[in-house]
Amino acid sequence: MFRFYFLSSILSSIANHQSSINNPKMRIIVCIKQISHIYSRTGMDPEKHYLALEDEVFRINPYDELAMGMALHTRDLAGEGEITLLTLGPLIAEAALRRCLAMGADNLYQIDMDANTDPWRKSGFLARAIKDIGADLVLCGKESLDSRNGQVGALLGHHLGIPFVSCIRDIVMGSDKGSLEVQRSGGRGLREVIACPLPAVFSVDLNAMDPPLPTYEEKKRCRSLPVRKLVYDRDTFVSKYIRTRTFPPRARPKTIPSPDSRLDSHDRIGELLSGSLVEKRGEMLTRDPESQVEGIISFLDGHGFLEPKKATKE
């Protein structure tokens, strides 16, 4: 009897080990940006940019909160998984980050460096941290509330060398366990369904999964969880952005023919409102996305937009 029980326990442990190998936990990383949101300027001091203490609120990016809700939804679909929060810069909104931990995240990593840098360097350091931590899925907001450039997600996919899908609103499990199907808005009420293999980077749009409200017990538990710091050489990624002089665009002069005096008043007013009768020259790219990208690149190259510029010292 003892031998049979011992043999059955060994077989069950081997089966559990095989199932853990065949069905590993999904590792999800959510990139969260801390922002300083200014509601008003009620201060009196010009050196402080007319800001009072109550005018500036430190919080996390709202789109990244939706990415956290999408991560919880994806973990529920997968059955099990590990969610890691990754932020860059000093902890100016630590209370909001710990609130995200209380929603259901497992770890919190911080890249120790200045957050006031360009998107290329930000995505480079985030990609290096993601490689060190390891992830099957990377989620982030489609843009930040302060800068609104929406470039970090696409640059992350470039640095990691994995697929990138922007502005998703829902995730469903694919036909096989190595892929996901995402839904995104196609405009005019249309929905696009894209099958994407893992690992991948997704940026989350509005109308996505709202994150749950954490309980008091969960918030209390996450107050003492450690923040793991990642320190990298700040000269690893050099900025690729070159600042040049900027000026407001000027309208191109064009010749507008005067209305024909032989026409009646209705037709003359129509000519005045129509402006120039010369149609704009252009080409509508309606083929597959690869051909459209090639057409855009050839247009930019033909008009001299892709010529390298020398960096100028300010």
| CATH number of domain containing 67 | 3.40.50.620
- What is the distance in angstroms between the CA of the first residue and the CA of the last residue of the chain? 84
pLDDT digits (tens, 9 = 90+) for 88-127: 999 999 999 999 999 999 999 999 888 788 889 899 999 9
2 — pLDDT class (breaks 50, 70, 90): very low
Phi–psi pair at 193, nearest 5 degrees: -115, 120
Structure tokens at 287: 């083929």
pTM listed for this prediction: 0.70
292 found inside a domain = no
* Domain limits for position 96: 25-230
Asked if residues 165 and 202 have their Cβ atoms less than 8 Å apart, the reply is yes
253 found inside a domain = no
Dist CA 55 CA 170 (whole Å): 35
DSSP class of residue 157?
Answer: H
246 found inside a domain = no
Please provide the average confidence, as pLDDT, over all residues in the chain: 82
* pLDDT for position 246: 61
* pLDDT for position 113: 86
279 found inside a domain = no
The count of residues in the chain is 314
Percent of the chain at pLDDT above 70?
82
User: Per-residue pLDDT for 128 more than 70?
Assistant: yes
Asked if residues 42 and 55 have their Cβ atoms less than 8 Å apart, the reply is yes
Q: How many domains does the chain have?
A: 1
* pLDDT for position 241: 63
123 found inside a domain = yes
Dist CA 58 CA 33 (whole Å): 11
50 found inside a domain = yes
User: Per-residue pLDDT for 130 more than 80?
Assistant: yes
Dist CA 165 CA 142 (whole Å): 10
Between 11 and 296, the higher pLDDT residue: 296
Structure tokens at 256: 């507008």
User: Per-residue pLDDT for 3 more than 60?
Assistant: no
4 found inside a domain = no
307 found inside a domain = no
- Asked if omega into 46 is within 30° of 0 (cis), the reply is no
Structure tokens at 202: 């997704």
pLDDT digits (tens, 9 = 90+) for 192-239: 899 999 999 999 998 877 888 899 999 999 998 999 999 998 777 777
The mean pLDDT of 138-149, rounded to a whole number, is 90
